[in-house]
Structure 1
Amino acid sequence: MIILLKPKIVILGAGYAGLMTLTRLQKTINVNEAEIILVNKHDYHYETTWLHHAAAGTLHHDRVRFNINNLIDRNKVKFIQGTVVEINTDKKKVRLENDEVSYDYLVVALGGESETFGIKGLKEHSFAIVSVNAARKIRNHIEYQFATYHTAGEKTEDKLTIVVGGAGFTGMEFLGEMTDRIPKLCRDYDIKENQVKFICVEATDSPLTGFDTDLVSYAMAYLEGRGVQFKLNTEIRECTPGGVIIQSGDEQEEIKARTVIWSAGIRGSTVIDRSGFEAKRGRVVVQPDLRAPGLDNVFIIGDCSIVLNKKDQYEYPPTAQIAMQQGITCANNLSKLIRKKADLETFVPNIRGSVCSLGENNAIGIVYGKKLFGPKALFMKKVIDNRALYMMGGASLVFKKGKLNLFG
């Protein structure tokens, strides 16, 4: 009797791209067609686009994550909780900190990491909103600064100064949440609101680079009205234990601040670099079907991938929207490969729009080409967030974790 071994599909990472690949794949193949293994550092998935809520303390950190096991079909999927160290594509093996996994087909969806661009002291003395634990650390740190402000010998202005490096989506959304949180912190710790300083340092001439100028002007005016100071065309040259040194033109200035949030750079996983892939800052330019160049059995998706627009070689931004769409295409192509079909799908992003929240009561966005301000944009932001949950875990996940109050 001949026993045919099932091909082994290993998925590294349970972010938007990896989890979407998994949930689609387990729906489209039967238990006899393939063995699926998911490897992830934690036993939970977290909504990266919600981390700014947890970092500011406007949403409990448990609200931004959910257990992976609740989405897995145990008859088809084995979950390994572990940290990926290196990928050996020649031997078709993945080395973990305490284990090793072999594969026939591999999906690399390890997500992104903070990129400091070599700025002195940034890695040691700033915070980045890159994970649930990082967000909790930021929230606790800020609250500690307020709680100890009146302590003898500690009453200094820098304890109430928050510097945000970068005015992209993460930076702007965090600022919006913090301007919501500050009134409560001030009441709790007997601090006047005008003592708190928000300074956003942006290297370009505008927040949300490349976004619609009317929407950017609206967002900037709104946040400035809530006390945020923008320093545009200004770079952070160094981060110190006591603040940052910034430069605009030929002039340098020191800003004393106990809290520095870096949100101006994301790169792919360092595992990509260690594993010998040809990459740029941990990101690989993938083939149209999302496979790595020269490797017919390795897909790279999410923050570790670069997808080029065929017409002008434009790099699509590494957004959650694109990552989830990549996951769907990746699952479809894996199904075709294990069924020996050659007509793999070409990944074509469908950019429906982008929405940037500005706190609990405001937002801006473009959806299907239409500009949205205020309540309409905020409504659409919640719809988008709920839709992402639905695509990964269905209606039950939306009811457990979703933003159900769409109008407030």
Structure 2
Amino acid sequence: MEKRIVILGAGYAGLVCALQTRKYLNSSDASITIVNKHNYHQLITLLHETAVGARSDRSLRIPLQKVLHDKNVEIKKGTVVKLDPDAKQVKLENDETLTYDLLVVALGSETEYFGIPGLKEHAFTLKSLNQARLLRAHIESCFARYPLEHKRELLRFVVGGAGFSGIELVGEFADALPRLAAEAGVPLELVEIYNVEAAPGILPGFDPELVKTAEESLKARGVRFMTGVPITQVEPGLVHLKSGDTIESETIVWTGGVRGNQIVVDSGLETDPRGRAKVDEHLQSVNHEDVYVLGDCALILNEQGRPYPPTAQLAWQMGAACGKFLYHDIRGGLKEDFKPNIAGAIASLGRKEAIGKIGKSFKTTGKMAYFFKDASNYRYLNKIGSVFTNR
């Protein structure tokens, strides 16, 4: 009898899961429905590039139909509002209800604001193409307004958080601001970029030698780092710091943390305090074995018992593994435990420059590191059967 598989989310984990599942199972084994709020897949690891106009947002948008057109996978555009694992139902925003035999939850994460007053209301975030487009339009507006209003806060840009997302964004800022200033006829020396981080240094937990390289490169291009200084409050045009200092700015972008999807928390799946679903060695919910949880909304622990950081490579590896697990659920056989193979970590520092660690010991910087980052993007696109469009 045909099983009904429903996959929620067409991000890195969900899309790869759909492709791999159909690779192993034909339509007589299972129907596959993938639900996504947009009719396209987003390359969110490159959002920092389109946020400052370095790459067209169209190039980060891959139509789902293009990838899945011959895979016999139903694409349903919709927003999930509720999961009911006990009833095996998913409710969508338009009041449509889907039923399933096996469910894959890959809904991604939400921004963690840590209870900082005003941060959610007054800061930009960078978790979708629409948010990137909004930020880009705002930045361009700031430069266009300055010759008319002469407010210094229009040319002062604050990025909260100095993890990979924050550093990649300030790197793009550093490379894009000279162009934006020239186009608006604004003296470049008036433009300021601040990167504020609560931890003692940038890129917490990353290789110290590479961190030093990144910091030197970014400082040379005008980035001002404020580390060990948490943001305590944000008001319109004003950022308050724990040190008592304030920064007047019309632009604050928050990249300082993520948490699990609230829909998962509300569903009754067992989660940790950060809202990530607890899963077993086969990526199944610990209290609902017919529900798989992948990507940023799943809690995956490393050998030291610490959560893996949410990355695209971890997400699509989970998606690929889940395809095999679904095959065994329907066809039988033993499941192998999921064991991530983290090839390394690379952070771009702007146009054609990056730092990275490949494997356990190989370090790379500059253009070579950027080449490795580009190569990892092409590797992923090859896996899903797509290519970059024109910038």
TM-score, scaled to structure 1:
0.93
Identity %: 41
Deviations 1:104-149 (A, max 9, x none): 0000000111111110000110000010000000000010010011
Matches of 1:382 and 1:75, distance apart in 2: 27
Q: Deviations over 1:303-326 (max 9, x none)?
A: 0001112x4312111111111110
Counterparts of 1:274 and 1:290, CA distance in 2? 19
Q: Does the alignment pair 1:246 with 2:237? A: no
Question: Is 1:111–1:302's contact at 8 Å kept on the other side of the alignment?
Answer: yes
What is the identity, as a one-letter code, of the residue corresponding to 1:291? Q
User: Structure 1 residue 12 and structure 2 residue 8: aligned?
Assistant: yes
Distance 1:125 1:75 in 2: 43
- Alignment-derived partner of residue 144 in structure 1: 141
118, 124, 127: which one aligns with 2:124? 127
Question: How has the CA–CA distance of structure 1 residues 328 and 75 changed in structure 2, closer, same or farther, with 3 Å as cutoff?
Answer: closer
Secondary structure of the corresponding residue to residue 149 of structure 1: helix
Counterpart for residue 208 of structure 1: 203
* Aligned residues between the structures: 388
Q: 1:76 Cα deviation (Å)?
A: 2.3
Deviation at 1:253, TM superposition (A): 0.8
Find the counterpart in structure 2 of residue 336 from structure 1. Answer: 328
* Counterpart residue identity of residue 222, structure 1: S
Alpha-carbon deviation of 1:73?
A: 4.3
> What is the rounded CA distance, in whole Å, between the counterparts of 2:241 and 2:66 in structure 1?
46
Question: For residue 300 of structure 1, what is the amino acid of its counterpart?
Answer: V
Flag as ranges the 4+ runs of structure 1 deviating above 6 A: none
Q: For 2:351, give the aligned amino acid.
A: E
- Which residue in 1 is equivalent to 2:261? 269
Query: Is 1:106–2:99 an aligned residue pair?
Result: no
In structure 2, give the amino acid aligned to 1:109: A
Residue 64 of structure 1, CA deviation: 1.0
Give the deviation of 1:401 after TM superposition: 3.4
One-letter code aligned to 1:169: F
The corresponding residue for 1:173 is: 168
Letter of the structure 1 residue corresponding to residue 298 of structure 2: S
* Alpha-carbon separation, structure 1, partners of 2:55 and 2:125: 17
Residue number in structure 2 paired with 1:357: 348
How much is the aligned-residue C-alpha RMSD, in angstroms?
Answer: 1.2
Which amino acid in the other structure matches residue 163 of structure 1?
V
The question of whether the paired residues in 1 share the 8 Å contact of 2:240 and 2:247 is answered with: yes
Q: Distance in 1 between matches of 2:119 and 2:314?
A: 29
Give matches, 1:1-400, under 5 Å.
4=1, 6-73=2-69, 76-98=72-94, 99-151=96-148, 154-247=149-242, 251-280=243-272, 281-309=274-302, 311-341=303-333, 343-368=334-359, 369-393=361-385, 397-398=386-387, 400=388
TM-score by length of 2: 0.97
Distance 1:73 1:187 in 2: 44
| One-letter code aligned to 1:95 | K
2:120 maps to amino acid: K
CA contact (8 A) 1:52 1:173 kept: yes
Q: Is the 8 A contact 1:332 1:345 kept in 2?
A: no
Please state whether the residue corresponding to 1:76 is helix, strand or coil: coil
Matched residue SS, 1:386: helix
SS of residue in 2 equivalent to 1:150 = helix
Alignment check: 8 A CA contact 1:322 1:349 kept: yes
Q: Which runs of 5+ in 1 are unaligned?
A: 404-408
